[in-house]
Each structure stands twice: as C-alpha cells, then as structure tokens.
Amino acid sequence: MKDKITVITGANSGIGKAAAYKFAAEGYRVVMACRNLAISKPVQQEIMASTGSQTIDLMELDVSSFDSIQTFCAAFKARYDKLDILIHNAAFLSHGETEYKLSPERVELSFATNAFGPLYMTELLADWLDRSHDPRVLNACTTNIKNFFDPKRAIEFDNLRGEHRATRRYSSYKMYGDSKMAFLMLTFKMAEQWRARGIKVNAIQINRVKLSKETVAKMKSHWKALAWAQNLTNPHPSGMADHYFYLCTSDSFKHVTGQLINHRREIVQPASNEQGLNQLKNIFGSSYYPKYAIEQSNVDQVWGMGQTLIAAHSS
C-alpha cells in the first residue's frame, strides 16, 4: 500500500486523527490537512512514533477559505503525482454559538467549512484523483440530518450570506445540521458528475463518537459538562476511523458511489414514507434519510450556490 495517498482534513483531532493513525498503520501515505500547524505537528509526530510510518505529511489547510484551499491544492500537486483517497472530515460546529459568522467568501461559516469548501477542494483535486486506479472520496455526514424528517425543516437559502443575520436568531446546531444536509446533497451530485470518470463519492452517517479533549476544551462550561457526560458512554473515534478505512479501501465498496452509508456499513435509503409510525422508524433507525435530500429543487439550489461561489472565486 506504500504508494496509496490519502488526504484527511481535520486530521489533528477526534475521528480525523484516529483515521490518520489507521491509514498510516495500514501502510498508506497520509497527508494531514490541518489549519493549525503548531497544534497539529505534535500529533503528526505522535502518529509517526506509534505507527513507525515515515510517510505522514502535514500541510496547512483552512477548509472554510477558498484561497487556502487553492494554495493547499497547488502545494499538494507540486508534491504528489496523484491522489487516491480524499476524506472530508473537518467540520465547524461551535457548541451553543449564537453569533452568525461569515467565511472569507462571505458565506455562513458552517456552510463554508462543511459543504462549499469540500466541494471546491474536490473540484480542484479531481484531475489528481483521475490519476488513481481506484479514486474514492468520503464525506463526513451526521445523523443530525434526520431533523429533516420534520416537514417544516428547510435550509435557509435566503440567509446563507448573512442577508437576515440582524433579524433571525442564529443557532449553530441548526446551521450545522443544514450544512451537513447540503453536504449530503453535494455528495450525490458530485458522484453523478464524476461517475463516468470513475471517481467514487460517498458520505458516511456518523452517529455518536467521544469528543476529543481539545474539542471539549473549546466549549463553554455547561456544554463541557454535557459533553463529558456523553463521553462516558459514546464509543471511541477509532471505531469510526475503521469505517472510514473500510469504505475507502475495501473491494466491497470499490464500485459504490453516490450513497450515504451508516455506522453498520449499510447503504442508507431515501425514505419512501415519512408519515405516522414509519416516521418514528425513520427517526429512531439508521436505514433511511429524509427525501428532502433528493428533492431536485433543493439539490439544484445547493449545487447552484456552490458553482456560483466557485465561479466568482475563479474569475
């Protein structure tokens, strides 16, 4: 596996760090794409020391910034001649945050980090993925999208650039869930776009995993207490990292594209019935996702906004 190259965003903590460890231990070349090199360097060294791998690279990337993504992709292409596996693991979720924040492209920060940044990065790296014999992209999604089983739930397309920030209450949880729903829709669309080129694009529905001590340390005190309590029973990130590895390397998923996959490695289906008891099964189970994700007008809006942002940045 020495020649297989894997890029993992947000690889300095939580599931991303566990995934960097797993891929390195299995002999893959790993590029940790992280925004803070000072805190990420000791993590790189720790993984190198414990796996014995000499092929773990650390490169700077702020996935909420199109300039940073462009710089990262150019530097990556100068250093590597192909890309085999791209894992969009990094995410923005500031627990309890009530202040609306914009990215450098003036997009709400959850959407910039969790949806449009990964879209732009994948588009820029698609020609390097073409050079792999088995290119796979994996997007970190969440069970939080099940909130879209509520028929009233919708992405605030009219407020993603802060149009109503002065008058609408900001909820970091709602924006996080909305941005992950947008990311799922982009996953389906990217898969369709690149199917003929052989680039497979899937999403993984992450349910619950212990939060890293670094992530808990950033929280306000009452959120810290809650996270601490949840961490008592939540599983370790290594289990989810094993799923990342399996979905990106196993023969079973070699030809799978455009799918959402759950924590049991099963393909999640669009719900055909969102009424009554079926709805309860949808909400408490992990087998169906809301049909909101495949409604054409929603997909077109997310894709259209992504393409408009990318075109504006490239012009």
Ligand X SMILES: NC(=O)c1ccc[n+]([C@@H]2O[C@H](COP(=O)([O-])OP(=O)(O)OC[C@H]3O[C@@H](n4cnc5c(N)ncnc54)[C@H](OP(=O)(O)O)[C@@H]3O)[C@@H](O)[C@H]2O)c1
Binding flag, residue 9, ligand X (CB under 6 A): yes
What is the rounded CA–CA span in Å between residue 65 and residue 102?
A: 10
Handedness of CA 146, 150, 155, 156 (dihedral sign): negative
Determine how β-strand 288-289 pairs with β-strand 267-270: parallel
Shortest distance (Å) from residue 314 CB to ligand X: 20
Binding flag, residue 70, ligand X (CB under 6 A): no
How far is CA 255 from its chain centroid?
20
Binding flag, residue 94, ligand X (CB under 6 A): no
**Closest to ligand X by CB, 191 or 240:** 240
**Closest to ligand X by CB, 285 or 304:** 285
Among 4, 20, 22, 62, binds ligand X (CB under 6 A): 62
Binding flag, residue 63, ligand X (CB under 6 A): yes
**Closest to ligand X by CB, 132 or 141:** 141
Contact 112, 106 (CB under 8 A): no
**Closest to ligand X by CB, 36 or 273:** 36
SS3 letters for 226-286? HHHHHHHHCCCHHHHHHHHHHHHHCHHHCCCCCCEECCCCCEEEECCCCCHHHHHHHHHCC
Among 4, 8, 13, 243, binds ligand X (CB under 6 A): 13
Binding flag, residue 16, ligand X (CB under 6 A): yes
Number of residues that this document lists for the chain: 315
What is the rounded CA–CA span in Å between residue 53 and residue 65?
A: 30
Q: Which of residues 192-211 bind ligand X (CB under 6 A)?
A: 206, 208-209, 211
- CB neighbours of residue 53 within 10 Å: 20
Contact 12, 40 (CB under 8 A): yes
Site track 215-244 with ligand X (rule: CB under 6 A), x = hit: x---------------------x-------
Among 44, 51, 94, 113, binds ligand X (CB under 6 A): 113
Residues that bind ligand X (CB under 6 A): 9-10, 12-16, 35-36, 61-64, 89-92, 113, 140, 142, 206, 208-209, 211-212, 214-215, 237
